[in-house]
Amino acid sequence: MPSYTVTVATGSQWFAGTDDYVYLSLEGTAGCSERHLLDKPFYNDFERGAVDSYDVTVEEDLGEIQLIKIEKRKYWYQDDWYLKYVTVKTPMGDYLEFPCYRWITDEKEVVLRDGRAKLPRDDKTQILKQHRRKELEMRQKMYRWKEWHPGFPLSIDAHSHSDLPRDIQFDNEKGIDFILNYSKAMENLYVNRFMHMFQSSWSDFADFERIFVRISNTISEYVMQHWKEDFMFGYQFLNGCNPVLIRRCTEIPKKLPVTMDMVECSLERNLTLEEEVKQGNIFIVDYELLDGVDANKTDPCTIQYLAAPICLLYKNLENKIVPIAIQLGQKPGPDNPIFLPSDATYDWLLAKIWVRSSDFHIHQTVTHLLRTHLVSEVFSIAMFRQLPAVHPLFKLLVPHMRFTIAINTKAREQLICECGLFDKANATGGGGHVQMVQKAMKDLTYSSLCFPEEIKAKGMDSKEDIPYYYYRDDGIKVWEAIRNFTEDVIHIYYESDEVVCEDVELQAFVKDIYVYGMRGVKASGFPKMIRTREKLAEYLTVVIFTTSAQHAAVNFGQYDWCSWIPNAPPTMRRPPPTEKGTVTIEQIVESLPDRGRSCWHLGAVWALSQFQDNELFLGTYPDEHFVEKPVKEAMAKFRKNLDEIVNTITERNKNKKLPYYYLSPDRIPNSVAV
């Protein structure tokens, strides 16, 4: 009688093993096997990290194996099991791989296809078509869209982390408990003694060092020492944790009535301001989105304030970007002066602090939350709903969706919810952050997620004109590496544009993102359909780049740039100055966050800047969803390209006081998971 050797691999994460009964059935073109209990006498099967082999004997040859069914039945108590993969050696000596990489919970079963990626048109038999359809029907019941707030991209329909499908939950929920992690961070940073001291101001700038000196590192310490300098202020627009707002100024806006007399002493080329604009030496950052946003009112004992400044910057003869004018409101007038570097020291310093605080708010809520977390969740939900596990694009994208829905659900549960942790320290808490996302949705376009296109649209693409924009330089390298990888994979499975058009599952995926993620807004520019291989490569690059590199660029530098509180105040406790010549050091310190809010802020930026345990970095794919040699060769080529980028960045950063490494591929996690 024919005998098959079945090898079963159990996951290595905590509690992955099981003591339950596990049964296997084989389904081939010539027949189905009976249900076989996988059990070896006097042996503990399916232990964590184990690879177990079993002989399965059948009465007659089953033909080509199409599906295998794994059933789990309770032995003693409910016992979840993480199945990595199953391999089957046929009587003819052929090996078939059946990737799973899923949890099997309760008394459930999974039906697996072999690991060869297939498009819908490749399935010729009814049994395979039916399996494909059933998987998507089941997934669409599990992964449902829900509106969290009006105007937001839709998110997963789950109230808490524990409501999520087991496959997308964190292995250890405690590891991503925000309350626990923030409290632990404050304890590790020796600042927990200040965490309840709300309304208690610091004495002076040096007093902030009491929560800082023990945890200084290269960049954060440099920021502490140089934060008052115009060079450091300007440098952060290029290479800080929010390097996405600066744009070349092509015309001074009417709402910022800067004159030549005001800035003449800041210009170094003996040109007029208009001539400097024409030569491309003037840049602008406008925080208009904050205009009209309600400040946090959750603490009646502390009035908090927001501003919507406009900052004009200049590229000097050393090619450094420095500020030359700051207006703290959107409407010009006598009570909204334009602050200048030639003003009194504290006037100019407080104006820059207000800009830095506004930058922090835009970074946290728009750059970070909306444009990486929420967008990545849209990609994740659409993938699970519309792409079956056998689809090559599911196999390509699933490593880049790891834990994204889980971290966002946990954030809605504890962090950005009403009365959540975000309200404790941030002036945009208490609902302001919701207003910001709603306003920012109009600028969330497909082209703005295409990295090179967005850099060019802002007039920031010239390396000769702006030589120290490392975010741009490294980002384009990583974008191109991802683009080349997606092209390689696409050309393996899609031999023509016609095949792209005919892929109904791909088109459903794209449509889900447009209809539910972008809320069907035509102005978003998100495609409703993809018709060419070239466009598909770009689209997949947007998805992978956003979930990996873009998130890394704006997340993991938060402690470096925001831990020195005066450089990134999460709230301001005094209104913006309305006249010049009145600002004192006491007024600045009274404006900055109190001791309690400073500590919660510090705990937050520390916790958010840490990599996950067992983090998987870009190009690392330990779960072998693909089994075909051409794809594995494409992955090896991708890793080689990424290694070359790492080497280039490492070489450039040698001996730099301010190294830029956030877009080094060895520091880019595969997915949004923190």
pLDDT in tens, 451-499: 999 999 999 999 999 999 999 999 999 999 999 999 999 999 999 999 9
- Half-sphere CA count of 318, side-chain side, radius 13 A: 6
Q: Which of 187, 174, 175 is nearest to 602 (CA)?
A: 187
**DSSP code for 32:** E
Q: Please say whether the beta carbons of 363 and 241 come within 8 A.
A: yes
Residue 266 has pLDDT above 90, yes or no: yes
pLDDT of residue 213: 47
Cα–Cα distance measured from residue 560 to residue 241, given in angstroms and rounded to the nearest whole number: 8
pLDDT of residue 293: 98
The lowest-confidence range among 13-17, 334-338, 442-446 is: 13-17
200: CB partners within 8 A, 6+ apart: 594, 595, 596
- In the chain, the percentage of residues whose pLDDT exceeds 90 is 82
Q: How many CB atoms lie within 10 A of CB 636?
A: 11
**CA pseudo-torsion sign 202, 207, 210, 215:** positive
Cα–Cα distance measured from residue 420 to residue 413, given in angstroms and rounded to the nearest whole number: 8
pLDDT mean over 228-244: 98
The lowest-confidence range among 87-101, 394-408, 603-617 is: 603-617
80: left (phi over 0), alpha (psi -120 to 50) or beta: beta
Give residue 645's Cα distance to chain centre.
20
DSSP-derived 3-state class of residue 385: helix
pLDDT of residue 195: 46
pLDDT of residue 108: 86
DSSP track, 114-179: -SS---GGG--SHHHHHHHHHHHHHHHHHS-EE-SSTTSPPEES-SSGGGS-GGGS-S-GGGG-HH
Residue 201 has pLDDT above 80, yes or no: no
pLDDT mean over 303-323: 97
Per-residue pLDDT tens digits for 99-126: 999 999 988 889 999 999 999 999 999 9
The lowest-confidence range among 149-158, 218-227, 323-332 is: 218-227
The lowest-confidence range among 168-182, 466-480, 657-671 is: 168-182
Cα–Cα distance measured from residue 339 to residue 257, given in angstroms and rounded to the nearest whole number: 12
Give residue 533's Cα distance to chain centre.
26
Per-residue pLDDT tens digits for 14-66: 889 999 999 999 999 999 999 999 999 889 999 999 999 999 999 888 999 99
Cα–Cα distance measured from residue 149 to residue 143, given in angstroms and rounded to the nearest whole number: 18
pLDDT of residue 535: 98
Residue 216 has pLDDT above 80, yes or no: no
Cα–Cα distance measured from residue 572 to residue 306, given in angstroms and rounded to the nearest whole number: 7
DSSP-derived 3-state class of residue 286: strand
pLDDT of residue 198: 46
Note the helical H segments in 503-575. Answer: 504-512, 533-545, 551-555, 558-562
DSSP-derived 3-state class of residue 323: strand
pLDDT mean over 200-229: 72
Q: How confident is the model at residue 68 (pLDDT cuts 50, 70, 90)?
A: very high
pLDDT mean over 628-633: 97
Cα–Cα distance measured from residue 358 to residue 305, given in angstroms and rounded to the nearest whole number: 10
pLDDT of residue 221: 87
Cα–Cα distance measured from residue 210 to residue 199, given in angstroms and rounded to the nearest whole number: 17
Q: Which of 287, 502, 515 is nearest to 381 (CA)?
A: 515
Strands 282-286 and 21-28: unpaired
Q: How confident is the model at residue 639 (pLDDT cuts 50, 70, 90)?
A: very high
pLDDT mean over 68-80: 90
The lowest-confidence range among 241-245, 602-606, 619-623 is: 602-606
525: left (phi over 0), alpha (psi -120 to 50) or beta: left
CA angle 126, 114, 167 (to 5 degrees): 100
Cα–Cα distance measured from residue 282 to residue 117, given in angstroms and rounded to the nearest whole number: 51
pLDDT of residue 209: 64
Q: Please say whether the beta carbons of 29 and 64 come within 8 A.
A: yes
Residue 581 has pLDDT above 90, yes or no: yes
One-letter amino acid of 180: L
One-letter amino acid of 591: S
**pTM score, whole prediction:** 0.95
CA angle 332, 333, 335 (to 5 degrees): 120
Structure tokens at 503: 């892929």
Cα–Cα distance measured from residue 495 to residue 195, given in angstroms and rounded to the nearest whole number: 60
Q: How confident is the model at residue 179 (pLDDT cuts 50, 70, 90)?
A: low
Per-residue pLDDT tens digits for 131-161: 999 999 999 999 999 999 999 999 999 999 9
Query: pLDDT averaged over the chain?
Result: 92
Give, to the nearest 10 degrees, the angle between helix 345-362 and helix 230-239.
10
Q: Which of 478, 457, 441 is nearest to 665 (CA)?
A: 478
